[in-house]
Structure 1
Amino acid sequence: MLKIIKSYLNFLWNSKNEHGVHSPFVFNLVTKCFYDKKQYPEYTILKNYRNSLLKNKNTIEVTDFGAGSKVFKSNKRQIAKIAKTAGISPKRAELLFRITNYFQPSTILEIGTSLGLATTALSLGNKTSKITSLEGCPNTLYQCQLQLQSRSFGTIFKNVECINTEFSSYLKNFQLPTSSFQLIYFDGNHSKQATLDYFEMLLPTITNETVWIFDDIHWSIEMEEAWEKIQQHPKVTVTIDTFQWGIVFFRVEQKKEHFVIRV
């Protein structure tokens, strides 16, 4: 906890709003997307789905996987508590919706479905996109599909393919060099090595329009080290630190630049 507080104070000291941004690309992203105050009707759907999970007192067996298919934790957890502690926050879900709505990616990869809170934001952001969402725990994924395929939320999830898999195994076996994902949301394994492994494995899919979002970049010292290495990679041009997320672009026309933005 002390580490996160220290990181956040450092973030606040270095962060800027739109007035400190001189890149037209990033300025437009900040003003037209990050700081967009419009009350989208999709926000109500996100809120309703979250509330439906928070009211669900059923307990399921949750299995988490480490890198290399190693199971490192299995326990019983209440669905409401998973949604409250492990799911994306309401504010971040709305921001993820806006980012997807802003860039309109036609193909999206999500690493870490959980109960589908972020998945729903991605799906609502571009209803015509093709979304592939990976989840390691079969019970969690089943509950996610059960909820989102219900009468209330089923129409949201039609553009999403959920796959129960260990992330590294899937990425190693997938035909990555012949595929591309215009947006990737990394929220499946908050360890340095796994994050860097996924980064390297998915590099063959990048295009000039690619957007990558890494969750919990200040979660630990190791995650901050992973974030630093990602920023320094020669194929990476623009990076944005919003504290919770690290957002990465590979736009060749942009000079290499790093931004710390309050959202």
Structure 2
Amino acid sequence: MIHLILEYLKFLSKSSNQHGVHSPFVFNLVTKCFYKKTDISLWKYFSNIKQQLLDNKTVIKVTDFGAGSKIFKSNNREVSKITKVAGISNKKAKLLIRLVAYFKPVNILEIGTSIGLGTSSIKIGNNESLITTLEGCPETSKVAQELFKKNDFNKINIITGDFNETLPKVIKNQQFDFIYFDGNHNKKATLDYFDMCLPAINNNSVWIFDDIYWSQEMKEAWSEIKNHPKVTVTVDVFHWGIVFFRKEQEKEHFKIRV
């Protein structure tokens, strides 16, 4: 926790708002998406779904393929507690809803379904989207499937299994408008997934990497992603790193307070 506080203070000293942005594309993103209020009806929709998970006292056995939890000491976890501790935060959910509503991506990939709260944010942002979401743990996958069924979310395909096996199959001969990387908070896995997904980009693809300041390893992974020759624009909002591949843009990196 102290590590993240120190990183955030450093981030604040180097970040700016729309007044420090000279790219029209990023200026519009900041003013028309980042700093726009979340539609209240969409937020009520999300809040209702989150409450369903908060009310769920079922205990499940979590299989963790990622960097592990800094909070949970046992793999037997109550769904309501997973929601409180590991579910997408309200701040992130609001921004995710706004981003999806702003870009209106159709073909979406999520790496790390968990209990389905982040997936719900994406679906609420654009109900017409076709979402493929990957989850390693069978028990959390079941919770997510039940949540989607209960709320009549269509066009969501959950694929359960090790990402190293499921991701290459999902990416093959596909293009994704939007990819949300939230499945494994370590350097090697993050960079491996980045490389695996590169064949699936188009000029307007939007990629989001969660928790880029989680550890020194994740900071290093983010630095390598920024420097990749196919990446043109990145926006660091601290809790996320957002990546664009727009060939018409000059290579630029932004740190924006949200």
Three-state SS of the structure 2 residue aligned to 1:65 is coil
Displacement of 1:170 in angstroms is 1.2
Match of residue 182 from structure 1? 177
Spell out, residue by residue over 1:207-255, the C-alpha distance to the aligned partner (whole angstroms, 9 max, x if none).
Answer: 1100000000000000000000000001100000000000000000100
Letter in 1 for 2:86: A
Displacement of 1:174 in angstroms is 3.7
Q: After the TM superposition, which residues 103-182 of structure 1 pair with which residues of structure 2 at under 5 Å, given as runs?
A: 103-150=103-150, 153-154=151-152, 157-176=153-172, 178-182=173-177
Displacement of 1:76 in angstroms is 0.5
Match of residue 70 from structure 1? none
Instruction: Say which is worse superposed, 25-34 or 49-58, in terms of deviation.
Output: 49-58
Q: Contact 2:66–2:185 at 8 Å: present in 1 too?
A: no
Letter in 2 for 1:44: K
Q: Contact 2:38–2:98 at 8 Å: present in 1 too?
A: no
Letter in 1 for 2:166: Y
Task: Number of aligned residue pairs: give it.
Answer: 253
Match of residue 14 from structure 1? 14
CA distance in 1, matches of 2:185, 2:166: 17
Letter in 2 for 1:239: T
Provide the identity percentage: 57
Q: 1:8 to 1:173 in 2, by over 3 A?
A: same
**Where does the alignment leave 5 or more consecutive residues of structure 1 unmatched?**
68-72
Q: Does the alignment pair 1:27 with 2:27? A: yes
Spell out, residue by residue over 1:173-200, the C-alpha distance to the aligned partner (whole angstroms, 9 max, x if none).
Answer: 3453x21000000000000000000000
Three-state SS of the structure 2 residue aligned to 1:124 is helix
Q: After the TM superposition, which residues 1-263 of structure 1 pair with which residues of structure 2 at under 5 Å, given as runs?
A: 1-66=1-66, 75-150=75-150, 153-154=151-152, 157-176=153-172, 178-263=173-258
CA distance in 1, matches of 2:164, 2:40: 36
Match of residue 70 from structure 2? none
**Where does the alignment leave 5 or more consecutive residues of structure 2 unmatched?**
68-72
Three-state SS of the structure 1 residue aligned to 2:154 is helix
Displacement of 1:66 in angstroms is 4.3
CA distance in 2, matches of 1:60, 1:168: 24
Spell out, residue by residue over 1:42-72, the C-alpha distance to the aligned partner (whole angstroms, 9 max, x if none).
Answer: 11011111111112111111101149xxxxx
Letter in 2 for 1:81: K
Q: 1:202 to 1:74 in 2, by over 3 A?
A: farther
Displacement of 1:38 in angstroms is 4.8
TM-score normalised to the size of structure 1? Answer: 0.93
Letter in 2 for 1:237: T
Three-state SS of the structure 2 residue aligned to 1:16 is coil
Moved over 6 A (4+): none
CA distance in 2, matches of 1:66, 1:4: 19
Three-state SS of the structure 2 residue aligned to 1:201 is helix
Q: Contact 1:63–1:74 at 8 Å: present in 2 too?
A: no
Q: Contact 2:187–2:217 at 8 Å: present in 1 too?
A: yes
Q: Contact 1:64–1:74 at 8 Å: present in 2 too?
A: no
CA distance in 2, matches of 1:95, 1:62: 27
Displacement of 1:130 in angstroms is 0.9
Letter in 1 for 2:222: W
Q: 1:12 to 1:26 in 2, by over 3 A?
A: same
CA distance in 1, matches of 2:170, 2:255: 34
Q: Contact 2:136–2:160 at 8 Å: present in 1 too?
A: yes
